[in-house]
């Protein structure tokens, strides 16, 4: 038998006899049942946690696409040119600011700064603090919808037409 999507294996070759066929070709071979264990964490406990495990709930500045980002003390959300910063422990809104236009790319934290890329190609850099503190602003003059990657002091940004690598030259580090 061949395993169809959504069916479990039933163990190593299992009593159900399902077999896994690699997407990359090859012969059918027994499935291996994987058991995942989770550390004791309130979000990962099974069952209905709506009344017992939610620390707080916010409704301001909820993004439709971009994911929130946190430094462990604050949570930053970005939607339609509005930035909303929550306190991680209390859920209180620390600050709100408006800049740019809509964004699909999720904000990124690198060092003490948060970077927000809007769809028009503008980049907003701010200190992630208890008050809004803008650091700088730049414009790449092209549509940005993907979340950039930050590696070794460089920022890799994919726009509609190009990929940019922003950062210090190899010898200047």
Chain-centre distance for alpha carbon 153:
20
Q: What is the pLDDT of residue 57?
A: 84
Alpha-carbon distances of 101 from 33, 69, 86, rounded to whole Å: 47, 18, 21
Average pLDDT, the chain: 77
Helix/strand/coil (H, E, C) string of 73-129? CEEEEEECCEEEEEECCCCCEEEEEECCCCCCCCCEEECCEEEEECCCCEEEEEECC
Domain ranges of the chain: 69-172
Q: What is the pLDDT of residue 45?
A: 57
Q: How confident is the model at residue 16 (pLDDT cuts 50, 70, 90)?
A: very low
Nearest to residue 74, comparing CAs of 157, 131, 33?
A: 131
- Per-residue pLDDT, averaged over 8-35, amounts to 46
Which range, 17-21, 57-61, 166-170, has the best average confidence (pLDDT)? 57-61
Q: What is the pLDDT of residue 51?
A: 67
Q: What is the pLDDT of residues 73-111, one digit of tens each?
A: 999 999 888 999 999 999 999 999 988 788 889 999 998
CATH class of 69-172: mainly beta
Q: What is the pLDDT of residue 1?
A: 44
- Exposed e or buried b for every residue in 63-102, given b needs 16+ CB within 10 A? beebebbeeeebbbbbbebbbbbbeeeeeeebbebebbeb
């Amino acid at each position: 038998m061949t395993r169809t999507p959504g069916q479990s294996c039933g163990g190593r070759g299992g009593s159900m006899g399902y077999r896994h066929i690699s997407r990359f070709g090859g012969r059918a071979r027994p499935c291996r049942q994987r058991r995942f264990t989770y550390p004791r964490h309130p979000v990962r406990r099974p069952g209905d946690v709506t009344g017992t495990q939610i620390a707080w709930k916010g409704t301001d500045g909820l993004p439709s696409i971009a994911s929130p980002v946190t430094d462990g003390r604050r949570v930053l959300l970005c939607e339609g040119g509005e930035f909303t910063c929550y306190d991680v422990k209390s859920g209180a809104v620390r600050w709100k600011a408006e800049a740019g236009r809509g964004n699909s790319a999720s904000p990124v934290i690198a060092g003490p700064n948060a970077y927000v890329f809007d769809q028009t190609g503008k980049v907003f850099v701010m200190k992630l603090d208890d008050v809004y503190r803008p650091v700088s602003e730049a414009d790449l003059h092209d549509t940005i919808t993907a979340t950039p990657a930050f590696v070794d002091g460089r920022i890799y940004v994919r726009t509609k037409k190009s990929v940019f690598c922003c950062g210090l030259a190899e010898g200047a580090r």
